[in-house]
Structure 1
Amino acid sequence: MGKQTNLYSFPDVASLAPALRAYVIQCQNAGIARHGVFKVAVSGGSLPATLAKALLAPPSSQAAASSATPSADGSDDIVRFDKWEIFFADERAVPLDHEDSNYGLLKSELLDKLPADAGQPIVHAIDTSVLEDTQELADKYEQVLVASFASRDSVRLPIFDLLLLGCGPDGHTCSLFPGHELLRETSAWVSPIEDSPKPPPRRITLTLPVVTHSVRVAFVATGGGKKGIMKQIFDEDSGLPCALVNDGAGDRCSWFVDNAAVEGVSFPKRGYNL
């Protein structure tokens, strides 16, 4: 059996946010050290709001006075948005200004609030000219990944520096739903889905092999409404999409949760050392 997923639990979202910030910055600095940029994919739901709470906080005074060069251990607490390349772990087949758009959600919660001196990330949105054809929508987004990561002839899968994901009340993540045939997809990087059990039904999503191939994967799950599904993910052999990510990524996968979300979960929980 491989190494276990990391389950970090906090009293509340306010105490979770600084740890999430430290983790993201550590992944950021490692990505910049590897290839000069930070390639991160994000999902929607409540994640962008929590991410904004973590990333828009002012840096520590020590970090603000430090050099612009990342420290070797990623401890400097500076978010370098100008080095970020943001992708979407899944997206809905809707215009970018639609209320269901993950891009629109991230834009309103985080991107529109970036300080002028923070630098601007590169953001890869879907091609809205092909919204009526989800297969073409998925193909075009896969081409974006190919252009950024490498030709499919030279790499089997793209390797994100970090995937930031949420957990649905049914245990889904991205737009990978329990029992859905897409969980068995092994060749595509991005796949369409026409029958999402959660509206809107038409979407595209990163596939499970791409998700588990990431250098790091982080889930954020908060609130007492999650405790039932969290118990299934961590304490039972559920086969739920979130559990499949845990199995595939092992200790490269970390969960940032509040105590209410994991009440009654017996899987070992840890604190996060800032």
Structure 2
Amino acid sequence: MSNTQPHLYTFPGKAELAENLRQYILKAETAALARHDTFRLAVSGGSLPVILAEALLGDSPASQFGKWDIFFADERAVPLDHADSNYYLLKEEFLNKIPTELGTPSVHPIAEKHANQDDDPKQLADLYQADLKRTFTGEGSDTLPAFDLILLGCGPDGHTCSLFPGHGLLNEKTAWVAAISDSPKPPPKRITLTLPVVAAAAQIAFVATGGGKKEIMRDIFDSEDGRGLPSALVNQAAGDKVSWFTDSPATEGVAYSRG
């Protein structure tokens, strides 16, 4: 557990949020390229790909997308062209809109031939973990992968990635990528990064918008009862490596200090 505290930033609207998220991502990209000439990040689904496009593909896009190495914080066990696929969502809302002259990111989707709701997702998780090991540490290493940035959403129940409140996967300490067959949100079969891998990232950013998030945001930041929620566990494990980008409706009534 970290002894430091996460940053909570609140903006009056989505345009201001997107601009500040843009500056944050560009700063993370610059630091990563200075370290190892690659920007390794993991992204989740939901509204995040749309917000990424708003943040980075505006009037003067500046990212060096050809040096991006993109993984998924979680993924559903469905074909890559399925509406429930996080890969499909990212491709349609963000990747396909990147101007050619800015380069093409390297993207790591799941192994599609094992992406079926009739199959055990364990093999899907194991194959994705093997891909992480090839990219970060080599096949024989147990050193946790250190993403330069992980971009996450927060569900109205406090879940993030495919880590859900009260689920046994919150206690996983060994696997980098875990399978889940009983997701409370459909589709039930998925894979997800585990909490130790999320917490090992150099930087972690949550994006939470809209009045529908205000109650769970109060639980995460102000309530002792919310300390066991997955998003709150990321806060506790990673401390000031975590930044929350929110709008005013999402943080209405939250007492936690901003900035």
Quickly name the TM-score band, shorter chain normalised: over 0.9
Q: Does 1:205 align with 2:189?
A: no
Query: Where do 1:1-274 residues align within 5 Å?
Result: 2-59=3-60, 78-131=62-115, 132-151=119-138, 153-237=140-224, 238=226, 239-270=228-259
CA distance in 1, matches of 2:237, 2:26: 23
How far residue 3 of structure 1 moved from its aligned partner, in angstroms, is 1.4
Partner of 2:245, secondary structure, is strand
Partner of 1:9, secondary structure, is strand
How far residue 219 of structure 1 moved from its aligned partner, in angstroms, is 0.2
Letter in 1 for 2:209: T
Partner of 2:75, secondary structure, is strand
CA distance in 1, matches of 2:142, 2:174: 12
How far residue 212 of structure 1 moved from its aligned partner, in angstroms, is 0.6
Letter in 1 for 2:27: Q
How far residue 224 of structure 1 moved from its aligned partner, in angstroms, is 0.5
CA distance in 2, matches of 1:199, 1:169: 15
CA distance in 1, matches of 2:35, 2:176: 22
How far residue 155 of structure 1 moved from its aligned partner, in angstroms, is 4.3
Letter in 2 for 1:269: R
How many residues align? The count is 253
| Segments ≥4 residues shifted beyond 6 Å | none
Tell me how large the CA RMSD over aligned residues is: 1.1
Q: Which runs of 5+ in 1 are unaligned?
A: 60-76
Q: Which runs of 5+ in 2 are unaligned?
A: none
CA distance in 1, matches of 2:200, 2:70: 17
Partner of 1:82, secondary structure, is helix
How far residue 57 of structure 1 moved from its aligned partner, in angstroms, is 1.2
Letter in 2 for 1:46: S
TM-score, L = length of structure 1: 0.90
Aligned 8 A contact 2:40 2:70 in 1: yes
TM-score, L = length of structure 2: 0.96
How far residue 253 of structure 1 moved from its aligned partner, in angstroms, is 0.3
Match of 1:70 in 2: none
How far residue 2 of structure 1 moved from its aligned partner, in angstroms, is 1.3
CA distance in 2, matches of 1:92, 1:175: 9
CA distance in 2, matches of 1:199, 1:52: 25
CA distance in 1, matches of 2:241, 2:194: 17
How far residue 118 of structure 1 moved from its aligned partner, in angstroms, is 1.3
How far residue 178 of structure 1 moved from its aligned partner, in angstroms, is 0.2
Partner of 2:21, secondary structure, is helix
